[in-house]
Structure 1
Amino acid sequence: MKRLNYLVNGLAALALIVLFSQCAGKADNQTTNASAQAAGLSGMKIAYVEIDTLLAKYNYCVDLNEAMVKKSENVRLTLNQKAKDLDRQKQEFQTKVQNNAYLTQERAQQEYNRIAKLEQDLQNLGNKLQAELMSENEKNSLQLRDSINAFLKEYNKTKGYSMIISNTGFDNLLYADSIYNITREILDGLNARYSSPKK
């Protein structure tokens, strides 16, 4: 019986030793993996681009913004002109109604319906023009992003960065040494590649 206890205790001790050595081996592997990952990270080449500066000074973006401002202003002027004309017609209608200028109630109702339709048409036109502006703005944003991404892909073929991060003010990047800032290089490259349309 004593012998059986010694045997069971011995097997239990052996199992604990084997278990402990496996856990220690895994810990060593994890430490080795963590060291390898840290070494891999330390070998990464990282840079950042200040998006605010890029958008303010990239000629393509400036041209797109100017074109959108002009279109937006044209839409505003068109809608304002039509609204003034509609207001004038409403005033004339009101004056005629007050002066009993319409021969019949039916004729006054026709004029009222015509003006109401003009008002609805103006509202529909405003909605349509605003939707077109938003759609064009979205399209411009995609083209701008594609332009920058295409340039970065080409640029990085020779520079070999592992990662290029965008920074907007203090939103994404809280601190980085300025040696990692490649905004000027990217901006110069983008502007050199872009030829502005004749104005």
Structure 2
Amino acid sequence: MKNASLILNVILTIAVAVLYYLHFKDRQPETASVVTSPAEAKGKAIVYVNVDSLLTKYDYFKDTQKVLESKRFQLENDLASKGRNLQNKVAFFQQRAATMTQEQGRATEASLQKEQQDILAYRERAAQNLAAEEQDKNKQLYDQIYDYLKKQNAQNKYEFVLGYTKGGGILFADPSGDQTSKILAGLNKEYQAKQTKK
């Protein structure tokens, strides 16, 4: 009986081995179906634009900066002129103060103080207007760049177009992903076309 039990165990072991072999012999390894060629595995590209170069070489930005710089210069000259005019009035008042009545002196002094306050209020308003105009121009700049990139990416070539600046959030960028010159050339061409239409 012991021999029969031993023979039965050997036959069962062989049967399990054969079934195991038959079950798994036709299966291909799962990894073979997952592996694809590098061209298929690659998704959309991530590229970057050097923001510093874009700003210094984009004609729209350069023209905008010239206009804003001219307005700042004009404002400074205007304020300096108003300041000199007020100083001259104060100097004239100081020279004539001895010959004026007390009432005339107070009236002139109040007039000069009001003029000084008006100049300060004018400076504040003009600085706010200039800051608002600069903010508007920066928004227009961003919108132009965004619209151009959106148009150029109509075929969904890029998943991301990052802005790279030295010392910014991106610590390293592979030069093969730098699209600055290409995008800059397109932006300048588009801007020049708009300028010639005007």
Instruction: Determine if the TM-score, normalized by the shorter chain, exceeds 0.5.
Output: yes
CA distance in 1, matches of 2:64, 2:166: 22
Match of 1:52 in 2: 52
C-alpha distance in 2 between matches for 1:159 and 1:62: 30
Task: Look up the match of 2:179.
Answer: 182
Are 1:65 and 2:65 matched, yes or no? yes
State percent identity of aligned pairs.
28
Deviation by residue 1:24-63 (Cα, 9 ceiling, x = unmatched)? xxxxxxxxxxx9xxxx995231100000000000000000
Corresponding residue number in structure 1 for 2:163? 166
SS in 1 for 2:49: strand
Cα 1:115–1:52 shift into 2, 3 Å: same
Q: Indicate the SS of the match to 1:94.
A: helix
The one of 122, 126, 136 equivalent to 2:123 is 126
| Counterpart-to-counterpart distance in 1, 2:41 and 2:132 | 41
Matching residue of 2:28:
none
Q: Tell me the equivalent position of 1:151.
A: 148
Which range moves more in the overlay, 151-160 or 110-119? 151-160
1:69-110 Cα shifts (integer Å, max 9, x gaps): 00000000000000000011011111111xx221x2111111
Letter in 1 for 2:180: T
| Amino acid of the structure 2 residue aligned with 1:107 | Q
> Are 1:68 and 1:137, in contact at CA under 8 Å, matched by a contact in 2?
yes
How far apart are residue 159 of structure 1 and its match?
Answer: 6.0
CA distance in 2, matches of 1:113, 1:42: 76
Do 1:47 and 1:181's aligned partners in 2 also have CA atoms closer than 8 Å?
yes
Unaligned runs of 5+ in 1: 1-34
Matched letter for residue 143 of structure 1: Q
Greater than 2 Å deviation, 4+ residue runs: 195-198
Distance 1:147 1:41, change over 3 A: farther
Which residue of 2 is the match for residue 17 of structure 1? none
Task: Report the Cα distance in structure 1 between the residues aligned to 2:188 and 2:155, rounded to whole angstroms.
Answer: 18
Equivalence map 1:10-159=2 (5 Å) = 42-97=42-97, 100-102=98-100, 104-158=101-155
The question of whether the paired residues in 2 share the 8 Å contact of 1:166 and 1:172 is answered with no
Which stretch has the larger CA shift, 42-51 or 119-128? Answer: 42-51
Q: Distance in 1 between matches of 2:159 and 2:49?
A: 14
| Counterpart-to-counterpart distance in 1, 2:43 and 2:116 | 66
Asked whether the 8 Å contact 1:46–1:164 carries over to 2, the reply is: yes
| Counterparts of 2:118 and 2:195, CA distance in 1 | 35
Aligned in 2, Cα 1:125/1:146: closer, same or farther, shift over 3 Å? same
